[in-house]
Amino acid sequence: MMSKDYMMPWQKVIFRNYGTVKTSLIGKVIGLSEKDVVLNAEKLGVKNIKYEPLWREKGFVTIIRNNWDILSLDEIAEILEMSENELSKLLEEYDFLSVKLGNKPDVGDNGYRALTKEEEENTERVRKIVEGSYIDRQVAPFDFFGKYVSPVYTSADGEGRIADRFLSSYCAKYSGSLLDDELSDYSDDYLIKLAATGTNGIWLSDTLRNLAEFPFDKSLSSGYEVRIGNLRKLTERCRRHGINVYLYLNEPRSLPESFFDSYPDLKGQKVGDGTYCLCTSSEKVKKYVYNAIKSIAEAVPLLYAVMTITMSENPTNCYSRNWGERGGIYTDCPLCKKKKPQEVVSDLNNVIEKALSDGNGHTRLIANVWGWANFASEDRREVFEGIDLLDGEIDVLCVSEYGKEFERGGVSGKVDDYSISVDGPSEFAEKVLKYAKKKGHRIWAKIQVNDSWELSATPYIPVFPLMTDHVLRLKKIGVDGLMLGWSLGGYPGGALPLINSLCDDENTDTKAWYKAVYKEDTDAAINAVQAFSKAFKNYPFSVDGIYFGAHNMACGNMWNLKKDERQSTMVCFTFDDVEKWTSPYGVDIYISLLSSLCNGWKEGLEILKNTGEGDAIKELKNCAELSYIHLKSALNLASFSKYKGDKRNKEILKQLISDEYGLTEDLYKLAMTDAKVGFEMTNHYYYNENLLLEKLVNLKGIEYDLENSDF
């Protein structure tokens, strides 16, 4: 007998952490000796998973997520060898990690206790399931470039050239890289590979208080000298490889109410989390921002550009968000409420531009107008008014597909973030960019190359025609530069060299590019990516779908035969919150669209089935298969959530469990042969071998419950 409760809590701690956490630390949190941890790992079938110390440094998000529902916060801090305060800061500051994980569940007693006879029998069943599928790793975790396919990039410097193209690192930490004097997240090896794709810029994010002294409370900027020194070193290292460095700033950040006891004249809009904005209409705040930016420009003369976001992301200026109390964009700040939102955000950008100009005279400022539409009326005139108020030296960047209208499954939608399946530019973006260009500004478009939150766990989605068509349209507008991706898309391969070739020469022969890359498999590669692109147009795109859907964790999502009432969380836990992540389509249309997508994708996979053994075509097949598994697993969970709870659907549920089991085995095999599988730089590995092996056990438990309970 084996129900879904296939392991005791302390056994799950061993199962999920063996190989990623020191055995001594695993033992410490559950009350076992190191020797007994190893003994019980053997009983569970996971003893052969090799310990990799890099998990602590490069995969801590995976460790936290895997333990979120089985260890307390102090226990998670213990296995990560950090203090509870350090963990708390990490959860708050590492790309909204606390939001992604959601509320911390109570974990109960996970300490060791002896197993009953029935529990020992269950343990033996777990071992047999694991050992029945277990294979040794052929590549170590984080060894992303062990089987690297050299890119084919051709530069012609032709007419209509888009000269500047930048993106984020594929494998750097989202924050904290500048504390490493060796700058190991930006190794020469990675930069060489990135430059070989034709990419000539890379962006990273940090806070102003981490890079310049905060005069009102110097303790809040402790260590800034180290970071600014390493930023300078990074610009020098990158420049040697022909790569420029862009700094993304979302400033000035809000502060706790207690800070303003000493500085009430700096206090701006109250934020929902109890903090307050630093009012950027205050002359003291403007002076602070000016001096801080100027000091960065002086200390880092090779810094190519600063990109600002002045609406959304983190709470910054008093108009930076919809504060949610009265609807619409407003502020209670006595200084800022006398002004229009476009005046406040343009004024802040102008202060930063002045500081950069005075600091070194050549670091550019790129004002990202993402979010400006939030304070605009239907005709968007406020966005154009904001552009009118910008200093003429400031560049203007717009998310290319923002506001793009589309219809899928009879449901109308509009892109509120970014997308590959809905390729731009939108009418809004085109109007904004043309207007800014007419006013004398250099213009930039933000797009997604390689991947997006529609499918983030693969180094690239093989839908190259959608990306190339998008870029060709932008070239007609006359954009000066491209932001090639947010925290996604930085893998130095895939579509990057093709897109960069198109940017340098509008007459690039794409078939010649495919032939240079895929050689005798050229026709198969072209036909396959066309099939994938056609299928991807069925993607059920929505903001709720891309951030809360099952496609991110895929087979890393555990299933439950009974309704799980927990709410899904951003790019993390999906649960049974199917109404959330199928919105606005509804479950039936969502399933129909994903079914069409997966069926079309299978046609592309069939085209690649009998191709050769070249490294490039094998990588393409891997990415195509990985993409399919994620999409099909999302379809399976949506269907399982729909049909469970009704005995009449028993045979359908059995088939879904069987299909998911096969997908999980396929994903596990891929992950053991390619370290890129399941990795995204802000989320680290969505799943590892431990979680995929547990999913197999989970499905066997679900299968047993289906046969032996009333559910």
DSSP assignment of 463-486 equals -HHHHHHHHHHHHHHT-SEEE--S
Specify burial of residue 322 (Cβ count, 10 A radius: 0-12, 13-18, 19+).
Answer: middle
**Average pLDDT of the chain?**
95
* Within-domain flag for 466: yes
Residues 188 and 78 in one domain: no
Retrieve residue 191's tokens.
């930069």
DSSP state string for 139-191:
S-TT-TTTT-----------TT---EEEEE-SSS-SS-GGG-TT-GGG-HHHH
Residues 116 and 182 in one domain: no
Average pLDDT value for residue range 574-594: 95
Full domain range(s) for residue 104: 1-134
Residues 82 and 195 in one domain: no
What is d(CA 70, CA 80) in angstroms, rounded to the nearest whole number? 15
Residues 454 and 331 in one domain: yes
Amino acid at 685: Y
Q: What is the DSSP letter of 397?
A: E
Residue after which a domain boundary falls, among 486, 517, 548? 517
The answer to whether residue 146 scores a pLDDT higher than 80 is yes
* Within-domain flag for 171: yes
Residues 348 and 284 in one domain: yes
* Within-domain flag for 12: yes
Summarised one tens digit per residue, pLDDT across range 153-173 is 988 776 678 999 999 999 998
* Within-domain flag for 705: no
- Closest alpha carbon to 620 in 490, 697, 530: 530
Mark 443-479 as b/e (b = at least 16 C-beta within 10 Å).
Answer: bbbbbbbbbbbbbbbbbbbbbbbbbbebbebbbeeeb
Q: What are phi and psi of 530, to 5 degrees?
A: -70, -40
CATH number where 272 lies: 3.20.20.80
- Closest alpha carbon to 334 in 289, 282, 296: 282
Going from the C-alpha of 2 to that of each of 122, 660, 697, 700, 709, the distances in angstroms are 6, 19, 10, 8, 12
Residues 286 and 419 in one domain: yes
Residue after which a domain boundary falls, among 517, 544, 568? 517
Residues 290 and 438 in one domain: yes
CA 293, 295, 299: angle at the middle one, nearest 5?
120
* Within-domain flag for 607: no
Mode of pairing for the β-strands spanning 267-270 and 255-256:
unpaired
Summarised one tens digit per residue, pLDDT across range 504-518 is 987 778 999 999 999
Q: What is the pTM of this model?
A: 0.95
Per-residue confidence (pLDDT) for residue 1, from 0 to 100: 40
What is the signed CA dihedral for 280, 283, 287, 290, rounded to 10 degrees?
Answer: 50
Peptide bond into 105 cis (omega under 30): no
Average pLDDT value for residue range 519-526: 98
Residues 189 and 101 in one domain: no
Specify burial of residue 50 (Cβ count, 10 A radius: 0-12, 13-18, 19+).
Answer: exposed
Average pLDDT value for residue range 687-695: 98
The answer to whether residue 247 scores a pLDDT higher than 60 is yes
Residues 121 and 226 in one domain: no
* Residue 710: band (very low, low, confident or very high) from pLDDT cuts 50, 70, 90: confident
In the numeric block, the tokens 């002294």 are attached to 213
Per-residue confidence (pLDDT) for residue 376, from 0 to 100: 78
DSSP state string for 669-699:
HHHHH-TTTTEETTTEES--HHHHHHHHHHH
Q: What is the DSSP letter of 21?
A: B
Enumerate the H helices of 574-614 as residue ranges.
Answer: 578-581, 587-608
Contact (Cβ atoms closer than 8 angstroms) between residue 667 and residue 629: yes
H or E stretch covering 13: helix 9-17
Average pLDDT value for residue range 464-484: 96
Indicate the angle between helix axes 381-389 and 427-438, nearest 10 degrees. Answer: 30
- Closest alpha carbon to 641 in 700, 568, 709, 544: 568
* Within-domain flag for 405: yes
Per-residue confidence (pLDDT) for residue 273, from 0 to 100: 81
The tally of domains found in the chain comes to 2
Average pLDDT value for residue range 428-454: 97
Residue 119 neighbours by CB under 8 Å, 6+ apart: 8
* Residue 2: band (very low, low, confident or very high) from pLDDT cuts 50, 70, 90: very low
Residues 45 and 180 in one domain: no
Contact (Cβ atoms closer than 8 angstroms) between residue 417 and residue 446: no
Average pLDDT value for residue range 578-607: 97
* Within-domain flag for 695: no
Average pLDDT value for residue range 277-294: 98
Per-residue confidence (pLDDT) for residue 508, from 0 to 100: 79
What is d(CA 201, CA 482) in angstroms, rounded to the nearest whole number? 10
* Within-domain flag for 262: yes
Residue after which a domain boundary falls, among 134, 156, 187? 134
Q: What are phi and psi of 305, to 5 degrees?
A: -160, 155
Summarised one tens digit per residue, pLDDT across range 53-93 is 999 999 999 999 999 999 999 999 999 999 999 999 999 88
**Starting at the edge strand that comes first in sequence, how are the strands of the sheet with 267-270 ordered?**
255-256, 275-278, 267-270
Per-residue confidence (pLDDT) for residue 356, from 0 to 100: 98
Going from the C-alpha of 666 to that of each of 12, 160, 424, 671, the distances in angstroms are 23, 44, 34, 9
The answer to whether residue 384 scores a pLDDT higher than 70 is yes
H or E stretch covering 244: strand 244-249
Residues 228 and 359 in one domain: yes
Per-residue confidence (pLDDT) for residue 138, from 0 to 100: 95
The answer to whether residue 709 scores a pLDDT higher than 80 is no
Average pLDDT value for residue range 586-596: 98
Residues 191 and 64 in one domain: no
In the numeric block, the tokens 């109007």 are attached to 431
Terminal CA-CA length for the chain? 16
Contact (Cβ atoms closer than 8 angstroms) between residue 198 and residue 503: yes
Per-residue confidence (pLDDT) for residue 321, from 0 to 100: 86
